């Protein structure tokens, strides 16, 4: 959902990479539904493993509870967003997570000097 919001609100002004320390086989259907409700399509997402190359190529690395399994490199900006895990949750439980992620993405874009698109 964070990658979807970043792409939606940042557009071509940011390059978004999405990966996880232990990605599932598919994007969470409840997350897809919750994002579709606000006009963001994440249905084409393909879960990927977070690689050291992706971290090295990034200016900001946002983690969501991967702990010691995420690669750490000096000089990189890291943000760990503690959020409820939407895995196994219905869309009712995912909506507040979606909204909190949007708020954090807007804050991140602001901190980078990228005005979020008014969408």
Predicted local confidence at residue 73, as pLDDT: 81
pLDDT recorded at residue 90:
95
Using alpha carbons, select from 51, 42, 58, 65 the residue that is nearest to residue 19: 51
How many percent of the chain have pLDDT more than 70? 98
Indicate left, alpha or beta for 24 from its phi (over 0: left) and psi (-120 to 50: alpha).
beta
The pLDDT of residue 118 is 65
Token digits of residue 90:
């219905």
pLDDT band at 71 (very low <50, low <70, confident <90, very high): confident
| Higher local confidence (pLDDT), 72 or 37 | 37
Condensed to tens digits (0 to 9), the pLDDT of residues 81-102 reads: 999 989 899 999 999 999 999 9
In this structure, what token pair is assigned to residue 19?
């990966």
**Which of 109 and 65 is assigned the larger pLDDT?**
109
Instruction: Please answer whether residues 22 and 69 qualify as being in contact, where contact means their C-beta atoms are separated by less than 8 angstroms.
Output: yes
Mean pLDDT over all residues of the chain?
89
pLDDT at 23 (0 to 100): 74
Closest CA to 54 of 16, 27, 6: 16
């Amino acid at each position: 959902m964070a990658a979807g919001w970043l792409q939606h609100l940042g557009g071509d002004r940011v390059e978004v990479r999405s990966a996880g320390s232990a990605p599932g086989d598919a994007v969470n259907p409840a997350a897809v539904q919750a994002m579709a409700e606000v006009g963001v399509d994440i249905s084409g997402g393909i879960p990927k493993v977070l690689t050291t190359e992706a971290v090295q190529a990034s200016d900001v690395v946002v983690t969501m509870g991967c702990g010691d399994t995420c690669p750490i490199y000096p000089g990189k900006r890291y943000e760990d967003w503690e959020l409820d895990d939407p895995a196994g949750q219905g869309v009712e439980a995912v909506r507040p997570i979606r909204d909190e992620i949007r708020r954090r993405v807007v804050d991140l874009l602001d901190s980078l000097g990228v005005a979020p698109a008014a969408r």
